């Protein structure tokens, strides 16, 4: 595949600065002969050591040497210690074909990852295919690079390949550059794509020659049956760019994620990354890397599976409360991820109701219109996050929602 043909006009000629491109080996920075870089002198750093206590009682000691790494500049793809932990983890979890031809780039979370992908690949006017209802940051981002967004509707199994084909056919007056998709526990619908569905979509990517960006923060949050593979697992042609994050596993405050893709793509992404933020915070990278070392790869995966069981209990609590209060008023499916996606029956739009009736009574939920390209359009959907609920909050919350819907229905069809 000709990787160069996918880059945006603006990124085609981007290259790393002299200093960054010659920083091959971090170790060489420490020799007395490094008279090139404007590195702060570690002898003057105010911190020397750190200790973190894990929730299993273990203690992480961050040594003086690591504190020096944490407080120093690093390479644009991340501190070598973390990159060398993530590469085998992607290989083990997702078994992508030709992993040796791919690279991992540590980013400041998925949003930052998605941003550098958009800048690197999208030329104004390029077509980008997205789920009909999706993570709103993506609309803002794609608008900012003047992409032509094409929404593709789905069914209970996620994006429909036949509608994607239709959309691709209709977009023949421009370049169909990429598809953005959330494969597991979608935001907002909670749907996990089956492997068959992924295969159908992937084969369209090969046929119509576009890239797939899979943004997968909810990979571990699958509850009833697990689809452990992803688009990257199917990617024989090197057209998948995978975006991972530690936000839902270690914590959103570490602001760390990682992109896995073919090496020529990652090298170009790295330039964009260096341009915007030099690299993700080495401080966070050191702590995350030490945490991964302490847990071990298996331990980290186990921790996520244990947390998934706890999230499943919260999901089931939300489902029970929905059955109690919303039966006959809403429809929903058992979701993966963090969100229950409610369809309010007999109402065309719930935006006013959510703002005027729910917010005013202290119930904060997201009206479905927020997930559309044009958020002024009507939507009967509501996104409820169950990641932090208690029995009391979800019970009272759904009671308020039921009352609000009933009031709205009465207003729409007052009794004669």
Residue 247 contacts ligand PLP per CB under 6 A: yes
Q: Which of 245, 260, 285, 379 is close enough to bind ligand PLP by CB under 6 A?
A: 245
Structure tokens, 245: 């994050």
| Residues sharing a CB contact under 8 Å with residue 6, sequence separation 6 or more, in sequence order | 121, 177, 211, 265
Residue 257 contacts ligand PLP per CB under 6 A: yes
With CB under 6 A as the rule, give the number of residues binding ligand PLP.
Answer: 12
CB of 245 to ligand PLP, least distance (A): 3
CB of 215 to ligand PLP, least distance (A): 5
Token pair 């078994």 in the structure block, residue: 95
Nearer to ligand PLP, 135 or 386 (CB): 135
CB of 92 to ligand PLP, least distance (A): 21
Nearer to ligand PLP, 180 or 332 (CB): 180
Phi and psi of 158, rounded to 5°? Answer: 105, -160
Nearer to ligand PLP, 96 or 131 (CB): 131
CB burial of 186-216 (b: ≥16 within 10 Å; e: otherwise) equals bbbbbbbbeeebbebbbebbeebbbbbbbbb
Region of 26-34, 74-82, 119-127, 245-253 interacting with ligand PLP (CB under 6 A) = 245-253
CB of 237 to ligand PLP, least distance (A): 24
| Residues sharing a CB contact under 8 Å with residue 382, sequence separation 6 or more, in sequence order | 330, 341, 342, 344, 350, 354, 365, 366, 367, 368, 401
Query: 354: which DSSP letter?
Result: I
Site map (CB under 6 A) of ligand PLP, residues 186-215, x = contact:
-x---------------------------x
Reduced to 3 states (helix: H, G, I; strand: E, B; else coil), residue 151 is strand
| Residues sharing a CB contact under 8 Å with residue 62, sequence separation 6 or more, in sequence order | 49, 50, 51, 52, 70, 286, 287, 290
CB of 250 to ligand PLP, least distance (A): 11
Give the span between the Cα atoms of 105 and 80, in whole angstroms: 10
Give the span between the Cα atoms of 367 and 369, in whole angstroms: 6
Give the span between the Cα atoms of 291 and 287, in whole angstroms: 6
Nearer to ligand PLP, 109 or 190 (CB): 109
Nearer to ligand PLP, 257 or 368 (CB): 257
Site map (CB under 6 A) of ligand PLP, residues 91-130, x = contact:
------------------xxx-------------------
Answer for the pair 156, 191: CB distance below 8 angstroms, yes or no: yes
Phi and psi of 344, rounded to 5°? Answer: -80, 125
The footprint of ligand PLP on residues 12-41 (CB under 6 A) is none
Token pair 């290989």 in the structure block, residue: 91
Nearer to ligand PLP, 77 or 215 (CB): 215
Helix (H) or strand (E) holding 17: none
CB of 377 to ligand PLP, least distance (A): 21
CB of 135 to ligand PLP, least distance (A): 4
Nearer to ligand PLP, 164 or 338 (CB): 338
The footprint of ligand PLP on residues 216-235 (CB under 6 A) is 217
Residue 336 contacts ligand PLP per CB under 6 A: no
Residues forming the site for ligand PLP (CB under 6 A): 109-111, 135, 182, 187, 215, 217, 245, 247, 252, 257
């Amino acid at each position: 595949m000709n990787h160069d043909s996918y880059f945006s006009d603006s990124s085609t000629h981007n290259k790393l600065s002299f200093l960054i491109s010659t920083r091959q080996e971090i170790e060489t920075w420490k020799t007395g002969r490094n008279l090139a870089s404007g590195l702060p002198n570690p002898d003057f750093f105010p911190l020397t050591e750190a200790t973190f206590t894990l929730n299993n009682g273990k203690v992480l000691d961050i040594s003086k040497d690591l504190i020096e790494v944490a407080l120093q500049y690093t390479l644009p793809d991340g501190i070598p210690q973390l990159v060398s932990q993530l590469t085998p983890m992607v290989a083990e979890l997702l078994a992508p074909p030709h992993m040796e031809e791919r690279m991992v780039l540590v980013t400041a979370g998925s949003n930052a990852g998605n941003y550098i992908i958009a800048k690197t690949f999208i030329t104004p006017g390029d077509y980008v295919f997205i789920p009909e209802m999706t993570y709103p940051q993506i609309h803002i981002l794609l608008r900012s690079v003047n992409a032509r967004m094409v929404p593709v509707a789905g069914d209970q199994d996620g994006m429909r390949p036949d509608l994607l084909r239709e959309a691709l056919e209709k977009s023949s007056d421009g370049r169909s550059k990429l598809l953005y998709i959330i494969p597991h526990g979608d935001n907002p619908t909670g749907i996990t794509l089956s492997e068959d569905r992924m295969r159908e979509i992937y084969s369209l990517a090969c046929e119509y020659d576009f890239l797939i960006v899979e943004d997968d923060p909810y990979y571990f949050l699958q509850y009833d049956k697990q689809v452990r593979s992803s688009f990257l697992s199917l990617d024989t042609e090197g057209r998948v760019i995978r975006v991972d994050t530690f936000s839902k596993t270690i914590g959103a405050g570490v602001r760390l994620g990682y992109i896995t893709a073919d090496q020529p793509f990652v090298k170009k992404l790295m330039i964009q990354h260096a341009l915007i933020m030099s690299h993700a915070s080495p401080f966070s990278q050191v702590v995350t890397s030490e945490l991964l070392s302490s847990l071990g790869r298996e331990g980290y995966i186990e921790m996520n599976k244990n947390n998934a069981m706890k999230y499943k209990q919260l999901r089931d609590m939300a489902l029970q409360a929905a059955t109690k209060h919303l039966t006959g008023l809403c429809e929903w499916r058992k979701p993966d991820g963090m969100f229950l996606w409610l369809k309010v029956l007999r109402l065309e739009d719930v935006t006013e109701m959510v703002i005027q009736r729910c917010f005013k009574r202290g119930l904060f939920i997201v009206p479905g219109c927020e997930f559309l390209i044009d958020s002024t359009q009507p939507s009967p959907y509501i996104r409820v996050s169950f990641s932090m609920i208690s029995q009391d909050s979800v019970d009272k919350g759904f009671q308020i929602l039921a009352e609000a819907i009933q009031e709205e229905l009465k207003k729409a069809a007052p009794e004669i």
